[in-house]
Amino acid sequence: MQDLPRKLGLLEATSIVIGTVIGVGIFIVPSAIARDLPSSPMILAVWIITGVISFFGALGYAELGAMMPHSGGQYLYLREAYGTLPAFVCGWAFFLVIQSGSIATVSVGFSLYLSYLLPGVPGLSRWAPVALIGILTFINYRGIKAGAFVQVLFTILKISGLALLIGSAFWHKSGPGLDWTASTSAFSIHGLGLAMLGCFVAYDGWHVIAFIAGEVREPRRNLPLALGLGVLASVVIYLLASIAYLKLLSLPEIAASERVAATAAERSLGPIGATLMTLTIVLSSVGAANGSILTAPRIYFAQARDGLFFRQLASIHPRFETPHISILVQGVWTSLLALSGSYEALFSYVLFASWVVHAMTVLGVLILRRKKPDVPRPYRMWGYPLAPLLFVVFALAFVVNTLIGRPGSSLIGALLILSGIPVYYIWRPR
């Protein structure tokens, strides 16, 4: 059976991690965090803690990816650790809502910020998301190197925009400056939990490199390096951006701003700063959408190869050497979600589901160490077994918090995901 060729190096793999993690979260989430936490030290501490926990998760994925360097990501890892049913339900949820809803959400966010740059363009919010999905789908259909080039380019552009904001903040003389007093008057466990949830959502996306492990050169070396370097770079960038916001704006100003990055850039660079930062968000949205469009079809490709999805999705284009049918099907379904407007509700329903998958995957590191001790592991995660257990505890806490905070939508999301069980039993005999 023909395999997808390995064409991605360390630079492209690391760009996929950074470019997918840094979407629009760091430009928006700090406002909500400032409303939930009372002081600058607490805000920075939460970014560091959640970054470290995310790094532990990335190390777990690095061990599994180096151990099973094939396309499919969590689908493969769950299949080996738990069996085909949980693996299928994972892939079903990713296709139905998790990855498709994420792409639709980022694409609609792209159109929202594009409308600030191009006011008065009729129907922008309707056609721009579909146009973005269509263009990126076409690029990735025609070859993984083309998609990887787009990823590297937009990762460089978004980091450059953030570097301009961070540099201007440290150069700017006025502003309230960092307040290092840690007030406890407004502190609450609930507020801390909400802030951590926001940070975890902003850090999410590093796992997509696992989907495409079968196309990374020297995967036993480059996968762990890409995950480690990518997540660490994202933590540093987020921390520096948060310091920049806190230096330029007071906590009430951050909490009140709907576009905190643009507000901060306007304070340090003038009106042109707000425009440049809005452009950076637009570029960042393109990079985040491309990261998922490039990688996610490999899940459905792997499922189809196991006979657990439409057989055509296992096809490889004879010229472009991509899973072209899988890419096209994802593009069509994601466009329909974006056009229907149902993506936001659906994505909120299953927000917790991706963290259930994260928890099960990293727990799979412990299971597979006992279940398959003789399988070669070119990389063994640091801090075992404490680091994976700590990640699993935080991931499950995220899930429980979501279930308590949104019981109705979480129930709907659970039903959507569990709908994969009867579908599995329909497909398995075929």
Q: Taking the alpha carbons of 253, 282, 19, 403 in that order, is the dihedral positive or negative?
A: positive
Choice between 186 and 381, residue whose per-residue pLDDT is larger: 381
Q: Structural domain boundaries of the chain?
A: 10-427
The CATH architecture to which 10-427 belongs is Up-down Bundle (1.20)
DSSP 8-class letter at 210: G
Share of the chain above pLDDT 90, in %: 60
pLDDT digits (tens, 9 = 90+) for 1-55: 678 999 999 999 999 999 999 988 888 889 989 888 878 889 999 999 999 999 9
Question: Which residues lie below 8 Å from residue 412, measured CB to CB, with a gap of 6+?
Answer: 349
> In angstroms, rounded to a whole number, what is the distance separating the alpha carbons of residues 425 and 51?
39
Peptide bond just before 385 cis, omega within 30 deg:
yes
Task: Please compute the mean of the pLDDT values over residues 59-75 and round it to a whole number.
Answer: 93
Q: Would the pLDDT of 349 be above 90? A: no
Q: Would the pLDDT of 341 be above 90? A: no
Q: Would the pLDDT of 137 be above 60? A: yes
Question: Which residues lie below 8 Å from residue 141, measured CB to CB, with a gap of 6+?
Answer: 317, 320, 322, 324, 327, 328
> Mean pLDDT score of the chain, rounded to an integer?
89
Position 181 scores a pLDDT of 64
Q: Would the pLDDT of 250 be above 60? A: yes
Q: What is the CA radius of gyration of the chain?
A: 21
pLDDT digits (tens, 9 = 90+) for 46-62: 999 999 999 999 999 99
Q: State the pLDDT confidence band at 293, using cuts at 50, 70 and 90.
A: very high
> In angstroms, rounded to a whole number, what is the distance separating the alpha carbons of residues 393 and 256?
32
> In angstroms, rounded to a whole number, what is the distance separating the alpha carbons of residues 152 and 12?
6
CA triplet 224, 225, 226: central angle to 5 degrees? 95
